[in-house]
Chains A and B, each alone.
Chain A
Amino acid sequence: MCFSRARLAALPLVFGFAFVSLFAGAAYAGPYEDALAGFTQGSLSDTGDAIQKVVASGNPLAEQVLSALQDGRLMYSAEQKAVYIQTKNGKLLYASTGKPFTGKPPDDIDNVIVNNRLRNLISADLGTLMLMSADPDHRINAAQAVFRSRDLGALPNLEKALAKETDPRVKTALEQARAALILSMPGATQAQKLAAIATVRDRYDLDALALLADIPSRETPPVARAATDAIQAIKTRLAEWDAVQNAWYGISLGSVLMLAAIGLAITFGVMGVINMAHGEMVMLGAYVTFAVQEAIRGYDPALFDYSLVIAIPLAFLFSGFVGILIERSIIRFLYGRPLETLLATWGLSLVLQQAVRTIFGPDNRDVGNPSFMSGAFNLGGITVTYNRFWIVCFALVVFVALIGILRFTRLGLEMRAVTQNRPMAASMGIRTSRIDALTFGLGSGIAGIAGVALSQIDNVSPNLGQSYIIDSFMVVVFGGVGNLWGTFVGSFVLGVANKFLEPYAGAVLGKITILVLIILFIQKRPRGLFALKGRAVEA
């Protein structure tokens, strides 16, 4: 059913296409072919003229040429004086006829260069051309393009599209686009303008604000007043959403802090080891993600969207393994000597950094975002980016899993027993040294998982870990050493506080303010938010 309808819609298009190309073939070197020659000059102003002429020619290939130009797929050869469209799968078509190109491409073939001015021109023209597209999403994009460009030439097409439109979403977008045109049209009546202002206001977003901004200064008093009121209404609404947006940013920052710190909450908080190489465990996890993606690119690119799912267990195992290795070879000789531990792990962090730098090189590695982590969605008046959204979810899952391990598994029970009273646990038959190694491994493994998440928002470079180590210690100390819930609450409190300070104080001053506040807080409550009570304090 759906299939046949799509076909039906395509039919007139195909007919029209065949019809016009027949004519174009007969009338050799018509306006369209002349216009194409402008693309072979290699100059931006000629390209700009050519775009306008191509659109004016009304040739059905115009849409294909413009979208190729927009994506950098329009090729030209100055020697052959020919223009080609490169299809999305890399084949060449003659731009003049739309027929496939056969034979060897010319040596001097190159992309037609566009700049931002031309890109704006193209998207406005494409918008006009695409208003009649069969796909509702294309029509919405086209309407948005007209809304932005305010190209008065699009009005007749817009009216036509509006008369035919049935989809309510597209209809709203088209009406808003028409309102935008009316507001910049010299001949519009006052009633039309007032209605347009009301339509635009209902978007309640920054684009609407941008459109209305200069109206009060250039319009008649009633229109100007309406615009001023609309601007005020939008601003009020945006300010309300702004608070929500800041809270979301804070939660998002908090989730990153928690991911980075929760591994440390185990090694430092539960075991009492000052592990300066904790950040490097995060970094190793990020590099595991990179290695997994490289392998997928080499063997089966179709799996790319699953790369993170594959990387999570591997990163956990690898970082955990390195953690156990460090515990067995260095840290176990240093229990109860915090200064030596600090120095040894600090040195170790430098060794790990330089090792990674030697193996992978000092520059950033390209870790791609899977498709489900790219882009953003709108939730009411705020924009939520997918990568942040999934990281928040992931952080919560990791936290719950960790609590579960500590509370409900045998390992967790033994861990708690050893940290609360080591000699007693040992005399009950728990192999404390094994538990030490496993606890350290668990903390490091969790750090590795954090690395997978952080690879999506930060640089994958040997310095990745360094930027998180201070924040991690800050969170653990603030939340209360030895308490996972403290880390949880601490990271979100710090995240939200930071993000509410940032718009007023700026990023640099905001961070300093947070540090000062923490110092004051620690003076008052040296054991952090959630202090351990009772005998456990002595351990």
Chain B
Amino acid sequence: MSSISTKTFRLTRRRWLKGAGGLALGLMAPIRAFAEDTIKVGILHSLSGTMAISETTLKDVMLMLIAEQNEKGGLLGKKLEPVVVDPASNWPLFAEKARELISKDHVAAVFGCWTSVSRKSVLPVFKELNNILFYPVQFEGEESERNVFYTGAAPNQQAIPAVDYLMSPDGGSVKRWVLEGTDYVYPRTTNKILQAYLKLKGVADEDVMINYTPFSFSDWQTEVSRIKAFGSAGKKTAVVSTINGDANVPFYKELGNQGIKATDIPVVAFSVGEEELAGLDTKPLVGHLAAWNYFESIKTPENEAFIKAWHAFTKNPKRVTNDPMEAHYIGFNMWVKAVTKAGTTDPDKVIATLPGIKQANLTGGISTMLPNHYITKPVYIGEIRADGQFDVVWKTKRLVPGDAWSPYLPGSKDLVADWVTLNCGNYNKITKKCGGA
């Protein structure tokens, strides 16, 4: 009796598996069907795991941009076809998925990555298989690769102007600095650059406190009270925050609860945008700052059209837009222009065409792709509003070109990147050789 029942159970389970497999195949079929006459675009963003919180939005914006381009008639007479893969916030998997996109799906270019470690993980793949990566996130710089185009901000397009603003009378003439960051490569490099820069500006060593916390750190009581103590030495104090991801919400909650107002100790953040504030009661945070190259609240016709399209595409009028989304917008349109100009999607030709391509950004300026594969960007300082958006309180007069190598670090100040005339990402001005310090 019992053996029979097990048997039927097994059978049904097998049948179910078969059915599910068939279903999955059926779903995949239409994607493969018109594979021949399209240009494929790879989207390499984590849709699960820790980074899904930030990267899922970028996948959505890429789908939107590709759909818009197809409505305009595609590219070179062909439709664009997005190929989405999920590297699951797993750094080695990024490299595997990148290889899959390039060698199996034959994509013309890839838009993706968020953390620097994921970018470093895919670099060798892009070099070996000679393809193009557009990287949309602010990062520590100190890199320039032939196959990568950096549409996010370099430190001189975000961190340095933010510090300059805080030092100015409008920013409060800050004299004492807390550099608070998550413990990984981006905050450590950025803080190294900032430390050198502050020293150059005459800030004494005892007026700088550097502190790191682990990823997803949630118990900020001690750290915040240390900041409070550091800030009561009679000099105006500010916090420069390179805290990344999940840890920000408890950090700001603790600031609000311990009553640190932006008028006492302002916090300027490089990784907190509209998206991060969406999960937070922002009333206690009014006046804290963020430095970006784009804010949703900036009123230009381009930005309004972009936000409208985004709301329509996601069918959610509350979805916010943020800086890395704008970076993908610029990057994608630059790629489209370069492919149109070159008349082909061949990576070598597109890489050669891209420097010099101009594209209107969403805040009213024209960004240019530079020979070092960085772009020119405006820098905005925004103060958090009660509704989770930002008021722009300061901006650079003109667009700032991105520095691949920081002039403030001893190891990199002699290096230049130029892929047009020198064909080198780390040319040493002193030794006149390509190949670093």
Interface residues of chain A, those whose CB is within 8 Å of chain B, are 44, 71-72, 111, 113, 115-117, 119-120, 123, 148, 206-207, 209-214, 238, 245-246, 249, 252-253, 256, 353-354, 357, 361-366, 368-369, 374-376, 383, 385-388, 457-463, 466-467, 499, 502-503, 506-508, 511
Is the pair A357, B52 in contact by a Cβ cutoff of 8 Å? yes
Collect the chain B residues with CB atoms within 8 Å of residue A353's CB: 48
**C-alpha spacing A92/B342, complex, angstroms:** 57
**A121 CB to nearest chain B CB (Å):** 10
Is the pair B258, A249 in contact by a Cβ cutoff of 8 Å? no
| A363-B53, A508-B183 given; A119·B223 CB < 8 A | no
**C-alpha spacing A376/B275, complex, angstroms:** 27
Collect the chain B residues with CB atoms within 8 Å of residue A506's CB: 211-212
Collect the chain A residues with CB atoms within 8 Å of residue B258's CB: 376, 383, 385
Is the pair B279, A460 in contact by a Cβ cutoff of 8 Å? yes
Is the pair B250, A457 in contact by a Cβ cutoff of 8 Å? yes
**C-alpha spacing A507/B214, complex, angstroms:** 7
Give the residue name and chain of the A residue nearest to B262 (CB): A116
Collect the chain A residues with CB atoms within 8 Å of residue B300's CB: none
**A228 CB to nearest chain B CB (Å):** 13
Is the pair A213, B234 in contact by a Cβ cutoff of 8 Å? yes
The residue that B226 contacts in the complex, of A117, A212, A388, A503, with Cβ under 8 A, is A503
Collect the chain A residues with CB atoms within 8 Å of residue B262's CB: 116, 119
| Most chain A beta-carbon contacts within 10 A, residue among B57, B217, B222, B250 | B222
The residue that B246 contacts in the complex, of A113, A119, A253, A463, with Cβ under 8 A, is A463
| Most chain A beta-carbon contacts within 10 A, residue among B169, B172, B217, B219 | B219
Collect the chain B residues with CB atoms within 8 Å of residue A116's CB: 171-172, 262-263, 266, 287, 289, 383
Collect the chain B residues with CB atoms within 8 Å of residue A503's CB: 222, 226
The residue that B234 contacts in the complex, of A117, A214, A376, A511, with Cβ under 8 A, is A214
Mark B239-283 against chain A: 1 for CB-CB distance below 8 A, else 0. 000000010011001101111001110100000000110111100
**C-alpha spacing A368/B246, complex, angstroms:** 17
Collect the chain B residues with CB atoms within 8 Å of residue A366's CB: 278-281
Is the pair B281, A206 in contact by a Cβ cutoff of 8 Å? no
The residue that B279 contacts in the complex, of A213, A459, A507, A508, with Cβ under 8 A, is A459
**C-alpha spacing A362/B59, complex, angstroms:** 12
Is the pair B222, A502 in contact by a Cβ cutoff of 8 Å? yes
Is the pair B393, A507 in contact by a Cβ cutoff of 8 Å? no
Is the pair B218, A117 in contact by a Cβ cutoff of 8 Å? no
A–B pairs, 12, beta carbons within 8 Å: A115-B394, A119-B263, A119-B287, A213-B232, A249-B221, A249-B222, A354-B48, A375-B259, A459-B246, A506-B211, A507-B223, A508-B183
**B48 CB to nearest chain A CB (Å):** 6
Task: Tally chain B residues at the interface, Cβ within 8 Å.
Answer: 61
Is the pair A211, B212 in contact by a Cβ cutoff of 8 Å? no
Is the pair A457, B212 in contact by a Cβ cutoff of 8 Å? no
Give the residue name and chain of the A residue nearest to B280 (CB): A366
11 further A-B contacts with Cβ under 8 Å, apart from A116-B171, A120-B263, A506-B212, are A117-B170, A363-B279, A369-B253, A374-B257, A385-B221, A459-B249, A463-B246, A502-B222, A507-B212, A508-B183, A508-B214
The residue that A458 contacts in the complex, of B52, B218, B222, B278, with Cβ under 8 A, is B218
**C-alpha spacing A458/B393, complex, angstroms:** 30
| Most chain A beta-carbon contacts within 10 A, residue among B48, B235, B250, B262 | B48
Mark B312-338 against chain A: 1 for CB-CB distance below 8 A, else 0. 000000000000000000000000000
The residue that A508 contacts in the complex, of B172, B213, B286, with Cβ under 8 A, is B213
| A375-B257, A459-B249 given; A364·B280 CB < 8 A | yes
Collect the chain A residues with CB atoms within 8 Å of residue B221's CB: 249, 252-253, 385, 388, 499
Collect the chain B residues with CB atoms within 8 Å of residue A253's CB: 219, 221
**C-alpha spacing A365/B386, complex, angstroms:** 17
Q: Is B56 an interface residue (CB 8 A)?
A: yes
**C-alpha spacing A456/B257, complex, angstroms:** 12
Mark B180-214 against chain A: 1 for CB-CB distance below 8 A, else 0. 00010000000000000000000000000001111
Is the pair A376, B257 in contact by a Cβ cutoff of 8 Å? yes
Is the pair B213, A461 in contact by a Cβ cutoff of 8 Å? no
Is the pair B266, A387 in contact by a Cβ cutoff of 8 Å? no
Collect the chain A residues with CB atoms within 8 Å of residue B172's CB: 116-117, 120
| A119-B287, A357-B52, A376-B258 given; A383·B225 CB < 8 A | yes
Is the pair B234, A363 in contact by a Cβ cutoff of 8 Å? no
**C-alpha spacing A508/B216, complex, angstroms:** 12
Collect the chain A residues with CB atoms within 8 Å of residue B281's CB: 366, 368-369
Collect the chain B residues with CB atoms within 8 Å of residue A211's CB: 234
Give the residue name and chain of the A residue nearest to B210 (CB): A506
Collect the chain B residues with CB atoms within 8 Å of residue A507's CB: 211-214, 217, 222-223
**C-alpha spacing A437/B135, complex, angstroms:** 49
Kindly list the 5 A-B residue pairs having the minimum CB-CB distance in the complex, ordered from nearest: A364-B279, A213-B234, A206-B232, A362-B52, A385-B257
Collect the chain A residues with CB atoms within 8 Å of residue B216's CB: 463, 466-467
Is the pair A461, B222 in contact by a Cβ cutoff of 8 Å? no
**C-alpha spacing A364/B248, complex, angstroms:** 11
Q: Is B233 an interface residue (CB 8 A)?
A: yes
**C-alpha spacing A72/B257, complex, angstroms:** 21
**B111 CB to nearest chain A CB (Å):** 18
Collect the chain A residues with CB atoms within 8 Å of residue B250's CB: 457-459
Q: Is B228 an interface residue (CB 8 A)?
A: yes
**A255 CB to nearest chain B CB (Å):** 11
Q: Is B50 an interface residue (CB 8 A)?
A: yes
Give the residue name and chain of the B residue nearest to A375 (CB): B257
**C-alpha spacing A499/B219, complex, angstroms:** 10
The residue that A357 contacts in the complex, of B48, B266, B287, with Cβ under 8 A, is B48
Is the pair A115, B211 in contact by a Cβ cutoff of 8 Å? no
**C-alpha spacing A71/B385, complex, angstroms:** 10
**C-alpha spacing A463/B279, complex, angstroms:** 14
Collect the chain B residues with CB atoms within 8 Å of residue A459's CB: 218, 246, 249-250, 279
Collect the chain A residues with CB atoms within 8 Å of residue B229's CB: 206, 238
Is the pair B280, A461 in contact by a Cβ cutoff of 8 Å? no
**C-alpha spacing A246/B394, complex, angstroms:** 39
Collect the chain B residues with CB atoms within 8 Å of residue A256's CB: 219
Collect the chain A residues with CB atoms within 8 Å of residue B257's CB: 374-376, 385-387
